[in-house]
Amino acid sequence: MSNYPPHSSRSDILIVDDTPANLRLLAGILTEQGYKVRPASHGQMALYAAQVQPPDLILLDIMMPNMDGYEVCRQLKADERTRNIPIIFISALGETLDKVTAFSMGGVDYIAKPFQVEEVVARVNTHLTIRRLNQSLQEQVAELDAFAHTVAHDLKNPLSLVVGYADYMLQALNEIEPEQLWEYLQKVKKSGQKAASIVNEILLLATVPKKEVDIGSLDMASLIAQSLERLVLSLEETQGEIRLPDCWPVALGYGPWVEEVWINYISNGLKYGGQPPRLELGASIESGGMVRFWVQDNGPGLTAEAQQVLFTEFTRLNGFRVEGHGLGLSIVRRIVKKLGGQVGLESQVGQGSLFYFTLPRAEA
């Protein structure tokens, strides 16, 4: 039994060495640590293996016939599919290791032969950790960029209305009748409230991955009533119709988050449903102790291609797809997953869409 805990049983390491004994030794060390290990006995085999299934890390011998480790590294770094894979060079103590060349070619470290188990494990663990941290950072930066653009888009409309009405009233203040002035001020107020609501959503939803909340029985009728109250402007503008059941099964969750789920589903139905939109809300008891809640719209429906990306993190749908679904639905997925449920969509072109989410059922 190894004294070193496995870093990750899912990590895939490609070992490249023309000496079978070295391959067996390294493979044994790393397999014992829980890694998936793939051996390659020459450079061409290594290039093919890395391109077909890019590994998480490569251990690459420098001195090999036909194609040495430097050339293998150069070709890996020139390929978009493999350029970001960390490479640790392998060199015998008696060989001349050109460290400047090794690092300039893109290597991140080196290991000397004969192998020391502690050193091999430590260096592999270190660079796999660095790789995961880099990947996580890149994902977070990309998500933050998409999030910022989406938030700016969502805030633009209500803030433009506030500025537009305020500008008009300032220019024509003496000509506006009191009743009309009151109407304009009400619209400014509602647009401001909408912008504030978006900001509050952002602040709330930013905490979803890390915030621990009190889970309890939900008064679904009350949550939906609050959601519809927040969407009163959209309902008026679209002349939307909402059909509700007489009663709701009791599920477990966190009220403020579940309200946001309904807000997203209903607002999407009002925007992208029929003209005028007709939405039906409902629920059903599922097997496995879950409750399925849903919103059925009378819109044009979505293609299979659009459905595949709807709940992707912060993906915005363009062209054949629907602008604006991406952020809201990715947030819905994040919330429902945190509450122990799932999200989904049933849709056919020309027959509308049914967006649903599940939550654990409360014990009777």
Q: Where are the domains of the chain?
A: 12-115, 142-205, 216-360
Sheet containing strand 241-243, edge to edge, reads: 241-243, 278-286, 290-296, 353-360, 343-347
C-alpha count within 13 angstroms, C-beta hemisphere, residue 150: 24
Q: What is the mean pLDDT of the chain?
A: 85
148-173 pLDDT, tens digit per residue, is 766 777 788 888 888 888 888 888 87
Q: Is domain 142-205 classified as CATH 1.10.287.130?
A: yes
Is 46 exposed, middle or buried, given 0-12, 13-18 or 19+ CB atoms closer than 10 A?
A: buried
Structure token pair of residue 155? 């805030």
Q: What is the pLDDT of residue 294?
A: 96
CB 198 within 8 A of CB 263: no
What is the architecture of the domain spanning 216-360?
2-Layer Sandwich (3.30)
Tokens 């998936």 — which residue? Answer: 36
Please determine, for residue 39, whether its predicted confidence score (pLDDT) is greater than 90. yes
In this structure, of 118-127, 217-226, 304-313, the range with the lowest mean pLDDT score is 304-313
Intrachain domains 12-115 and 142-205 with the same fold: no
Mean of pLDDT values over 31-43: 93
Q: What is the pLDDT of residue 67?
A: 93
CB 314 within 8 A of CB 143: yes
Q: What angle do CA 47, 49, 55 make, to 5 degrees?
A: 100
* CA–CA separation, 102 and 351 (whole Å): 60
332-343 pLDDT, tens digit per residue, is 888 999 999 999
In this structure, of 17-26, 53-62, 174-183, the range with the lowest mean pLDDT score is 174-183
CB 264 within 8 A of CB 328: yes
What are the CB-based long-range contacts (under 8 Å, 24+) for 283-291?
283/220, 283/245, 283/248, 283/249, 284/249, 285/249, 285/361, 286/358, 289/360, 289/361, 290/341, 290/358, 290/359, 290/360, 290/361, 291/249, 291/250, 291/251, 291/358, 291/359, 291/360, 291/361
C-alpha count within 13 angstroms, C-beta hemisphere, residue 251: 28
Please determine, for residue 18, whether its predicted confidence score (pLDDT) is greater than 50. yes
Q: What is the pLDDT of residue 38?
A: 95
231-270 pLDDT, tens digit per residue, is 998 899 899 999 999 999 999 999 989 998 999 899 989 9
CATH topology of domain 12-115: Rossmann fold (3.40.50)
Q: Which residue type, as a one-letter code, is found at position 275?
A: Q
* High-pLDDT (> 70) share of the chain, %: 88
Q: What is the pLDDT of residue 6?
A: 44
Q: What is the pLDDT of residue 7?
A: 47
Q: What angle do CA 224, 228, 231 make, to 5 degrees?
A: 140
CB 137 within 8 A of CB 43: no
φ and ψ of 317, to 5 deg:
-95, 130
